[in-house]
Structure 1
Amino acid sequence: MSAPTKVSLRAPTTVAGSSSTPPGDAPSLDWMLGTWHVTHATLPMWKSKCNVRITYTKLPPAGDDSHPRVDDLVEYQSPGNPKTKSVNGISRSDPKAGLSPGWAWHWRGKGLLKIASSNWEVLGYGEVNDGGEPNSFIVTYFTKTLFTPAGIDVYSRNKKLSESTLASIKGALEGFEDPALKKLSGEIFEVPTEDSKP
């Protein structure tokens, strides 16, 4: 039997009293690129969806702005319906957070969603062995917007995340002093994956 997964998380910069210096290095942009499956979340809208996935694609610098940017494509389906819906935007490394690039991001929608924006942060990430399968994960925190409450998303390169890794993520959230973060640990639910995904 493999040893329990140990996950360390940093508190979001928006939480009062959180350290401005996260432990370790931020995830590299190259490591984050590609498609991630949202296996667990607290966002209410995902309770009625499945096959939620996010794809990050590197974008060139915008003019004189040297901060990293990625095309941020969210795709999802409704259970039993093969039609895929999507939300597209651009995420830019947020220098206002006072962190090295890769930890904090500012998202703005494209097209009709250009008026919408949000801030999100990487709280933790890593490589794990889930049931004999190598896997990568990211824990993200997004702030409250006009449309969504503040919450947590858990990404996995694979469609599934082991109970051991999930338990360690929940335990790390419960370890924060902030009551709102503790509360989120109990609100995490599984986002289903169906075979209807193309």
Structure 2
Amino acid sequence: MAAPATASKTVQIYQPSGKDGVPSHPSLSKAEFPIDAFQGKWFVIQSTLGIWKTRKDVTITYTPHTPPPNLAYNDHVQYRSTSSPSSKPLCSIVGISTLLPTAAQSSTDTQPHQEHGAHFKWRGSGWLRIASSKWQVLGYDLQEGWVVTFFEKTLFTPAGLDVYARQPGTLSSERLSEIVKATQSLGGEAGKLAEGFFEVTHGV
């Protein structure tokens, strides 16, 4: 059963950082982003990324690789094709997501709230080592168990958005709608991308 939304809590989603990497809100900064609470398994429940249109049971698990100040997560993606039975073993993509430095960090008067705490560069492991991409968190509520992430365009893939949940079905349809609408209301590239959200199914 879906958990009821907290009526008094407003969904807050923020614009992606600019070229300087400075976070668009203090909650995304090194001073405030909860790197430990963010760790663990997340279920991708909504996306605009074409790769997930023919996939289901998509999860991303972040585990510690390198501690701060050189923060990096082991990044383990698992999924099945939508045509595969749930009994089929999951496919995997393994890589490392490393926190990107903020351009302003070169300044001696840079404060922790000016340094991004949730903007990463992913690089694949093994035969995928040649592949890389950048992604960042745009908003989250770790008590309710959701995150919105933005993936930057690469030479091979378009920009896109994901909505993560700690478990599929734990967010009410009303809360999920609020998250999607808040992302759409950003305008710009992220807002336009959010018009293309679709459901990523689990356990079917």
Q: How would you bin the TM-score normalised by the shorter chain?
A: 0.7 to 0.9
- With structure 1 as the length reference, what TM-score do the two structures score? 0.82
Match of 1:158 in 2: 167
Match of 1:102 in 2: 117
Match of 2:78 in 1: 75
Do the aligned partners of 1:40 and 1:153 also contact (CA within 8 Å) in 2? Answer: yes
Deviation of the 1:19 alpha carbon = 7.2
Instruction: Choose from 187, 193, 197 the match for 2:202.
Output: 193
Instruction: Choose from 39, 49, 52 the match for 2:45.
Output: 39
Deviation of the 1:90 alpha carbon = 0.4
Match of 1:113 in 2: 128
Q: 1:41-56 alignment to 2 at 5 Å?
A: 41-56=47-62
Do the aligned partners of 2:17 and 2:24 also contact (CA within 8 Å) in 1? Answer: no
- Describe the SS at the equivalent of 2:16: coil
Structure 2 distance, partners of 1:139, 1:168, is: 12
Q: Percent identity?
A: 37
Match of 1:6 in 2: 10
Do the aligned partners of 2:139 and 2:149 also contact (CA within 8 Å) in 1? Answer: yes
- Structure 2: gaps spanning 5 or more residues: 105-113
Structure 2 distance, partners of 1:97, 1:10, is: 19
Structure 2 distance, partners of 1:19, 1:172, is: 21
- Describe the SS at the equivalent of 1:24: helix
- Describe the SS at the equivalent of 1:10: coil
Deviation of the 1:166 alpha carbon = 1.8
- Describe the SS at the equivalent of 1:95: coil
Do the aligned partners of 1:69 and 1:90 also contact (CA within 8 Å) in 2? Answer: yes
Query: CA 1:40 to 1:176, structure 2 compared with 1: closer, same or farther past 3 Å?
Result: same
Deviation of the 1:15 alpha carbon = 8.0
- Structure 1: gaps spanning 5 or more residues: 129-134
- With structure 2 as the length reference, what TM-score do the two structures score? 0.80
Pick 1 or 2: higher relative contact order, CA cutoff 8 A, min separation 6: 2
Deviation of the 1:96 alpha carbon = 3.3
Post-superposition CA distance 1:84-109 (Å, at most 9, x none): 11111000111136553532111111
Do the aligned partners of 2:102 and 2:116 also contact (CA within 8 Å) in 1? Answer: no
Do the aligned partners of 1:5 and 1:165 also contact (CA within 8 Å) in 2? Answer: no
Post-superposition CA distance 1:59-118 (Å, at most 9, x none): 135xxx832111000000113331211111000111136553532111111011111111
Structure 2 distance, partners of 1:34, 1:97, is: 28
Structure 1 distance, partners of 2:78, 2:167, is: 16
Match of 1:175 in 2: 185
Structure 2 distance, partners of 1:139, 1:55, is: 15
Structure 2 distance, partners of 1:15, 1:6, is: 28
Superposition CA RMSD, Å? 2.5
- Describe the SS at the equivalent of 2:129: helix
Instruction: Choose from 93, 97, 100 the match for 1:91.
Output: 97
Deviation of the 1:33 alpha carbon = 1.0
| Counterpart amino acid of residue 182 in structure 2 | A
| Counterpart amino acid of residue 22 in structure 1 | H
Deviation of the 1:4 alpha carbon = 7.3
Query: CA 1:189 to 1:89, structure 2 compared with 1: closer, same or farther past 3 Å?
Result: same
Do the aligned partners of 1:39 and 1:190 also contact (CA within 8 Å) in 2? Answer: yes
